[in-house]
Amino acid sequence: MATHPNTPSKTALPQDDEEGPRKRHKANTPDFSQADEVVTFLVGPETETQKPKTFIVHKEIACYHSPVLNAAFKSGFIDGRTQTYKLDDVSEGAFKLLVQWLYSQKFAIQTSPADTRDELAHISLDLVMLWVLADKLGIPSLQNLALERINDLSDESSTIPNDCLHYVYNNSSKDSQLRRFFTEMVGGQSEAEYFSPEEEHNIPRQMLLDLVIWSIQLRADTVSIKVSEFFVPVEVDGR
Per-residue pLDDT reduced to its tens digit, 138-196: 999 999 999 999 999 888 877 777 778 999 999 999 999 999 999 999 888 887 777 77
Q: What is the band of 199 on the pLDDT scale with cuts at 50, 70, 90? A: low
Domain edges within the chain: 1-89
Query: Is residue 98 classed as helix, strand or coil in its secondary structure?
Result: helix
Judge contact between 132 and 172, C-beta under 8 A. Answer: yes
In 3D space, the residue among 136, 11, 147, 138 whose CA is nearest the CA of residue 64 turns out to be 138
Structure confidence at residue 16 (pLDDT): 41
Task: State how far the Cα of 180 lies from the Cα of 174, in Å rounded to an integer.
Answer: 9
Task: State how far the Cα of 170 lies from the Cα of 75, in Å rounded to an integer.
Answer: 29
The upper half-sphere exposure of residue 64, i.e. CA atoms within 13 Å in the direction of its Cβ, equals 18
Distance from chain centroid for Cα 66:
17
Q: Is the pLDDT of residue 70 over 90?
A: yes
Task: State how far the Cα of 72 lies from the Cα of 80, in Å rounded to an integer.
Answer: 6
Q: Is the pLDDT of residue 94 over 90?
A: yes
Convert the pLDDT of each residue in 217-231 to its tens digit: 888 777 778 888 888
38-43 and 53-58 beta bridge pairing: antiparallel
Structure confidence at residue 110 (pLDDT): 83
Average pLDDT, the chain: 84
Convert the pLDDT of each residue in 153-162 to its tens digit: 888 877 777 7
Predicted TM-score (pTM) of this structure: 0.79
